[in-house]
Amino acid sequence: MEKEDKIKVGVIGLGTIANAIYLPILSGLEKVEISAVMCRTESTMRKIAAKFGAKRVCFSLKEFVETHLDCAFILTPKDVHTRYVIPLLEEGTDVFCEKPMAMSLEEASRMVKVADETRRILMIGFNRRYAPVYTYAKEVFKEKSPDVCFLEKNRPNTEYRASFENAIHMVDLMRWYCGECKELQAYSQFEDPYYETNLTAQLRFSNGSIGLLLASRTAGQWMERAEIYGGNKTVIVECPERVRVYNPQNEVCISTTPLAMGWADVKENLGFRKQVQSFLECVKTRNQPPTCAAEALKTHILMDKILRQASLPGL
């Protein structure tokens, strides 16, 4: 790919997150061409192609690959990620895959192996590492990991593998803030273990940090927040828009409202735009992204341990 050429991008999976987040970002980038889109429904493909300027709709993975893409975004339901990611890697295409990367550790490990063997970029969508409020909190504790990190991600109503689908973001942030976990205890509430309603965990990390996790599906509304303590500092993140930093002398409040000249939305506030830009930069430079497959696999392994400790099905 020549430096001045546009990056040819393909998208598989044209549901809500593609429409609301990724396609608006990609279509707004000057040096990106949406060369191909693909999903199960022809009418949806043609509608999306017209809306976002995609050059081609594809009815098979073979046809998609033959578009000669520089990279692909896999935004399908999680249970079919492997079906698309591995063949694309083997065909020489760099891949961005939404989290969770796969439904089992075996599938996730295979993704890492194929990415390594083919020397392709495989990035997993842990966008919270790019969200301004969480990156600010990380910066506060850049010299020394926090002593205690409490993260919660709550919302009404359960779903299939609810904690795996959503709490995995918080587990990934804990690893990012505190390093690797050496021991944990976890508890859950459920009638059906595949549709748990509440999950809590206490984690101790190798550096001495303690992590506390709460993922509730009997909450009244969606809420995501963090409380982080250490070194006579307190950081409270009220995702997606506000972070407060307390020390013995003062309090500082940071708001993301001024971002994008006051037009910031979840694409900026939750880190999606920076995440996409990071992936595309890695496609050009061949550097590994911060949330490469090998790094993401460690989060999935920790998530598996938490689920099993909480008497829930593992991965």
Burial of residue 192, with CB atoms counted within 10 A of its CB: 0-12 exposed, 13-18 middle, 19 or more buried: exposed
185 and 197 in a single domain? The answer is yes
Q: What tens digit of pLDDT does each residue of 267-277 get?
A: 999 999 999 99
18 and 114 in a single domain? The answer is yes
* Beta-carbon count within 10 A of 41 CB: 10
pLDDT (0 to 100) of residue 33: 97
Q: What's the CATH number where 61 sits?
A: 3.40.50.720
Omega prior to 100 cis, within 30 of 0: yes
- pLDDT category at 161 given cuts 50, 70, 90 is very high
120 and 250 in a single domain? The answer is no
d(CA 172, CA 155): 18
d(CA 266, CA 298): 26
What rounded mean pLDDT belongs to the chain?
95
pLDDT (0 to 100) of residue 258: 67
141 and 261 in a single domain? The answer is yes
96 domain residue, yes or no: yes
Phi, psi torsion values for 261, nearest 5 degrees: 55, 35
Residue 182 has pLDDT above 60, yes or no: yes
243 and 154 in a single domain? The answer is yes
- pLDDT category at 263 given cuts 50, 70, 90 is low
Q: Find the domain containing 228 and state its range.
A: 128-270+296-309
158 and 257 in a single domain? The answer is yes
- pLDDT category at 256 given cuts 50, 70, 90 is confident
136 and 120 in a single domain? The answer is no
**Cβ–Cβ < 8 Å for 128, 173:** yes
d(CA 276, CA 297): 20
Residue 3 has pLDDT above 90, yes or no: no
Q: What tens digit of pLDDT does each residue of 53-65 get?
A: 999 999 999 999 9
Q: What is the mean pLDDT of residues 277-295?
A: 97
Q: What's the CATH number where 137 sits?
A: 3.30.360.10
Q: What is the mean pLDDT of residues 176-182?
A: 97
End-to-end Cα, the chain, rounded Å:
38
pLDDT (0 to 100) of residue 311: 98
User: CB within 8 A of 12, min separation 6: which ones?
Assistant: 37, 38, 39, 61, 64, 72, 73, 74, 75, 76, 84
Q: What tens digit of pLDDT does each residue of 193-230 get?
A: 999 999 999 999 999 999 999 999 999 999 999 999 99
283 and 223 in a single domain? The answer is no
Q: What is the mean pLDDT of residues 26-39?
A: 96
pLDDT (0 to 100) of residue 131: 96
- Full strand arrangement of the beta sheet holding 32-38: 32-38, 7-12, 71-74, 94-98, 122-125
**Cβ–Cβ < 8 Å for 283, 7:** yes
Q: What is the mean pLDDT of residues 46-58?
A: 96
Q: What is the mean pLDDT of residues 170-199?
A: 98
2 domain residue, yes or no: no
156 and 254 in a single domain? The answer is yes
d(CA 181, CA 207): 9
- pLDDT category at 5 given cuts 50, 70, 90 is confident
How many separate domains does the chain show?
Answer: 2
119 and 149 in a single domain? The answer is no
Q: What tens digit of pLDDT does each residue of 124-151 get?
A: 999 999 999 999 999 999 999 999 999 9
57 and 119 in a single domain? The answer is yes
153 and 255 in a single domain? The answer is yes
11: which 2 tokens?
A: 């998208």
Phi, psi torsion values for 23, nearest 5 degrees: -65, -40
315 domain residue, yes or no: no
239 domain residue, yes or no: yes
- pLDDT category at 260 given cuts 50, 70, 90 is low
38 domain residue, yes or no: yes
The pLDDT > 70 percentage for the chain reads: 97
d(CA 50, CA 29): 17
Q: What is the pTM of this model?
A: 0.94
Q: What is the mean pLDDT of residues 283-301?
A: 97
Q: What tens digit of pLDDT does each residue of 64-95 get?
A: 999 999 999 999 999 999 999 999 999 999 99
* Beta-carbon count within 10 A of 251 CB: 10
pLDDT (0 to 100) of residue 1: 47
d(CA 33, CA 24): 12
314 domain residue, yes or no: no
62 domain residue, yes or no: yes
120 domain residue, yes or no: yes
Q: Tell me the three state secondary structure of residue 39.
A: coil
